[in-house]
Amino acid sequence: MPNPRTPAAKARVTGAAAKNPQRHRDRKDPKGTPLGKPSAFLDEHGKSAWEGFKRELPWLMESDRAIIEVCAKVRGGLLSGEDVGVSKLNMLQTMLSKLGATPADRTRIAIADEDEEEDEFFDS
């Protein structure tokens, strides 16, 4: 079985696209919508947590909504003073890692500076 395809953005950032340009030439990045407003079912603490994630993790997209809803629910509980328990904290830590929100995982995230245009960021 062949290895899974490397996404175009990852190939550019890791240098795989420069090493093997013919392999990555026709790959396109999926289009996405930025993360929108908090879900209606979240309470005020959950909505506050949502806005915090949106501010702290600017690469989040609408396709991340389901995982952010769960993260916001748990973090909202923490903000309200609720004792959420160790299992929920472990789950939150795992989900944040998957989103690139921990220091070690953040090194794998590459976003352009606001003053740089996207084409300039990915050209090499």
User: Which is more confidently placed, 31 or 30?
Assistant: 31
> Average pLDDT of the chain?
83
Residue range 94-121: average pLDDT?
A: 68
- Asked, for residue 108, whether it belongs to a domain, the answer is yes
- Asked, for residue 28, whether it belongs to a domain, the answer is no
Which pLDDT band, with edges at 50, 70 and 90, does 116 fall under?
very low
How far, CA to CA in Å, does 90 sit from each of 14, 43, 56, 85, 119?
29, 22, 20, 9, 38
Which pLDDT band, with edges at 50, 70 and 90, does 120 fall under?
very low
- Asked, for residue 1, whether it belongs to a domain, the answer is no
- Asked, for residue 26, whether it belongs to a domain, the answer is no
User: pLDDT tens digits, residue range 66-105?
Assistant: 999 999 999 999 999 999 999 999 999 999 988 888 877 7
Q: How many CB atoms lie within 10 A of CB 100?
A: 17
Q: What is the dihedral of CA 92, 97, 103, 108, to 10 degrees?
A: -160
pTM of the complete model:
0.66
Q: Kindly state the tokens that stand for 51.
A: 């806005």
pLDDT at residue number 90: 97
Sign of the four-CA dihedral 44, 50, 52, 55: negative
Which pLDDT band, with edges at 50, 70 and 90, does 14 fall under?
confident
The number of distinct structural domains making up the chain is: 1
Range of the domain at 54: 8-20+40-122
